[in-house]
Structure 1
Amino acid sequence: MSKTLFQRIIDREIPSKIEYEDDQCIVLHDIEPQAPVHLLIVPKRVIARAAESIPDSPDEQLLGHLITTAGVVAKKLGLERGFRLVINNGPDACETVPHFHMHMLARRQMAWPPG
């Protein structure tokens, strides 16, 4: 099976602007930003999509780590006014890479309901 785009970025086969990295995840700048701050929070271990995560498995801890990482990065970047986390799951949600990731959007007023 071939590597996902994010695996290739994690393996440094494709260059990317990395904002944060630890042993479980990487946070990088989106190449087509939809807000002044648009980061992707990506686990290093592949979970294809949220709907394929496994309850009562290491997936739960990893997905929780991604959310707490969002808080760490928000503090680092001074996003005290807020940010939005978006998870796309499947084609109707505009998922384009089969490797779970969260979009972190900030520094613009968000609308509700979202798109």
Structure 2
Amino acid sequence: MSTEEEKAQIAGEEEVTIFDKIVAKEIPADVIYEDDLALAFRDINATAKVHFLVIPKDRQGLTGISKSEEKHKELLGHLMITAAKVAEQENLSDGYRIVINEGKFGCQSVYHLHIHVIGGEQLGWPPTGIKEEASS
């Protein structure tokens, strides 16, 4: 598997994900922020000068945003506030993009809710990834 699209096509809801292993310190990561609820670390496949992920340390069943329920609203709010806090820490005052991939067509390859924060340079619009043949 070489592309994220290919990985997303075969990904499933694993009991233990790579992100669970990062939280457990079983796999190293370049952690840039941590508190009781969230962990932020640099994406190893960065798509911009700055690209980090914000994840819940305890998934609480949140394998993706589509699994969110009323009981998750405090955690989801905390993750968004954490993303903004770390973006400021990373000097992204000129702006950044927040992305949550959902499901195989959304290119989700790890089923542990995670927020991509991308910036540090001028980003384009619309975001890439929409195939020409799909828009025809």
- TM-score interval w.r.t. the shorter chain? over 0.9
Aligned position for 1:48: 63
**Deviation at residue 2 of structure 1 after TM alignment:** 3.6
- Deviation, 1:82, is 0.6
Match of 1:24 in 2: 37
Structure scoring higher RCO (CA < 8 A, sep ≥ 6) equals: 2
Question: Gaps (5+ residues) in structure 2?
Answer: 1-13, 129-136
User: What code does the residue aligned with 1:14 have?
Assistant: I
For residues 7-29 of structure 1, what are the alpha-carbon distances to aligned partners after superposition, in whole Å with 9 as ceiling and x for unaligned? Answer: 00000000010000000010000
- Partner Cα separation in structure 2 for residue 75 and residue 49 of structure 1: 25
Please give the alpha-carbon distance, in whole angstroms, between the structure 2 residues aligned to 1:36 and 1:114: 16
Compute the TM-score of the two structures, normalised by the length of structure 2: 0.80
Q: How many residues align?
A: 113
TM alignment of 1:1-115, pairs within 5 A = 2-46=15-59, 47-54=62-69, 56-57=70-71, 59-115=72-128
Deviations 1:40-86 (A, max 9, x none): 000112110000111x21x1111111111111112212111011100
AA of the residue aligned to 2:101: N
Write the distance in 1 (CA, Å) between the matches of 2:42 and 2:107.
18
The more displaced of 35-44 and 71-80 is 71-80
* Bigger Cα displacement from structure 2, 70-79 vs 44-53: 70-79
Structure 2 residue matching 1:39: 3-state secondary structure: strand
Counting aligned pairs with the same residue, the percent is 39
> Where has structure 1 moved over 3 Å in runs of 4 or more?
none
Whose Rg is larger? Answer: 2
Structure 1 gaps, min length 5: none
